[in-house]
Amino acid sequence: MLRLILCLALLAFAGPARAIDLRAPFDSIDGGTLALTDWAGQPVLVVNTASQCAFTRQYRGLQDLYNRYRSQGLVVLAVPSDDFNQELDTNEDVKAFCELQYGIDIPMTTITSVKGAEAHPFYASLRDEAGFVPRWNFNKVLIGRDGRISGTFGSFVGPLSADLTGQIEAELAAAGD
């Protein structure tokens, strides 16, 4: 029964790819900015993260995912957020935690709002154009090489799950078309 409910939930998100605004840059935790448009033509997995969440161990999987597919063009972008009150106090603390605990070298933004009136323009566009708002930390949005939403995944979908890696592999294969 649970499997049926999950399948129906996935079908609810199925349908044609939807366009979203990729132009607004994020502030990089390393300084400067990160623009999704810099990765045009590449699939990008955008993940709202938090350092003090039960799902925080997914950082390891995100790094493993990036290591597995980066040479084929995948970008994994971590977007630390305190919207669910589970992020460390400063960008410096987040960066140090991720590097020391998980050896993270994926691109990472500064602490950024992902929902509500203060949501970053990318997340506001997801809400307005696709009806997607992160319900918790470690929600994942796969942007296809065409700049459209290829899939959205909740917190319980691990970075190395077959559902997510299958969608990523399809996007990477499509890049050769």
At 20 the pLDDT is 82
Q: Is 99 helix (H, G, I), strand (E, B) or coil?
A: helix
Q: Which member of 6, 17, 35, 53 is catalytic?
A: 53
Q: What global pTM score does this model have?
A: 0.88
User: What fold is seen in the domain 18-174?
Assistant: Glutaredoxin (3.40.30)
Q: Report which residue type is found at 171.
A: E
Q: Which pLDDT tens digit goes with each residue over 5-40? A: 333 333 333 444 567 889 899 999 999 999 999 999
The vertex-53 CA angle with 170 and 92, nearest 5°, equals: 95
- Please choose, from the candidates 63, 49, 44, 36, the residue with its C-alpha nearest in 3D space to the C-alpha of residue 110: 49
Is there a catalytic annotation at residue 7?
no
